Amino acid sequence: TIIGAGGTAPNQALGAEHSQPLHAYVMGIPGLKICTAASPDAAYGITKSMIRDNGPCFLFCPVKMMKESKGKVDLDKCMPLNKAALLHEASQSAVDSGNAVTVLTYLHGVKEAQLSIDEIKAEGFDIDLIELRTLKPLDMETISKSLARTNKLCILDESTKSGGVGATISAAVSEELFDLLDAPVKRLCMDDAPVPYASSMEEAVVKRGADLVQGVFDICTKKW
């Protein structure tokens, strides 16, 4: 079991080498179970399961959230290594009017998405926020349940366009859940360029809450 605090937080100004998505690089290694945890209870539960698991496992935690993230932990509870978590459900009215989007995210994106829910609602939209606690294997069941309601998918991804986590998910969804999609999968990910140090430029490269609000707006107003 390897536990690492990493990821690519928005607005960290660390330059190219410290913004590389290791979680994306290991996705292709067969036999690994790769999970992410953005809250203490997830970190605790997943770690317990990983230690008891007989195979090699990777747990990624968001480095810039380690100090501030607080919450209750269910002691002695082991969490499953193949289940995503639905953190916020879109209201039925938003779903019925076609203004709901399924948002998949992980690591720092969880905090970014949670903080932008109010703004999204103010714009007249809503989201089913799913934290991908497991990147590999992907929990297609939870994703398809939500997609059946919203029919639109947006991924807030902290890896690059080429070979990133979002790319893998987008491909899997289009292959297995094509009939549930009313729009192409929207991927908010990093460009294929070294992440710049200057904060003014980093803003455009590392996608964050504001980009999610725009993405939800675009996908619901058919801008693709």
* Binding positions for another protein, rule: CB under 8 A: 12-18, 191-194, 196-201, 204-205
Q: Is 126 helix (H, G, I), strand (E, B) or coil?
A: strand
What is the rounded distance in angstroms from the CA atom of residue 24 to the CA atom of residue 157? 10
CB of residue 198 to another protein, shortest distance in Å: 3
What is the rounded distance in angstroms from the CA atom of residue 114 to the CA atom of residue 106? 11
What is the rounded distance in angstroms from the CA atom of residue 77 to the CA atom of residue 41? 9
CB of residue 13 to another protein, shortest distance in Å: 4
Q: Is 135 helix (H, G, I), strand (E, B) or coil?
A: strand
CB of residue 20 to another protein, shortest distance in Å: 9
Q: Structure tokens of 114?
A: 């949670």
Closer CB to another protein, 41 or 203, in the complex: 203
Q: What is the distance between the terminal CA atoms of the chain, rounded to a whole angstrom?
A: 41
Closer CB to another protein, 95 or 195, in the complex: 195
What is the rounded distance in angstroms from the CA atom of residue 216 to the CA atom of residue 67? 29
**Phi and psi (nearest 5°) for 131?**
-90, 120
Contacts 24+ apart (CB under 8 A), 26-29: 26/58, 27/135, 27/136, 27/165, 27/168
Closer CB to another protein, 4 or 71, in the complex: 4
CB of residue 204 to another protein, shortest distance in Å: 5
Closer CB to another protein, 29 or 193, in the complex: 193
CB of residue 15 to another protein, shortest distance in Å: 4
CB of residue 192 to another protein, shortest distance in Å: 8
Closer CB to another protein, 92 or 199, in the complex: 199
- Spatial CB neighbours of 186, under 8 Å, sequence gap ≥ 6: 152, 153, 154, 155, 215, 218, 219, 224
CB of residue 188 to another protein, shortest distance in Å: 16
Closer CB to another protein, 96 or 192, in the complex: 192
Closer CB to another protein, 26 or 177, in the complex: 26
Q: Structure tokens of 38?
A: 């953005």
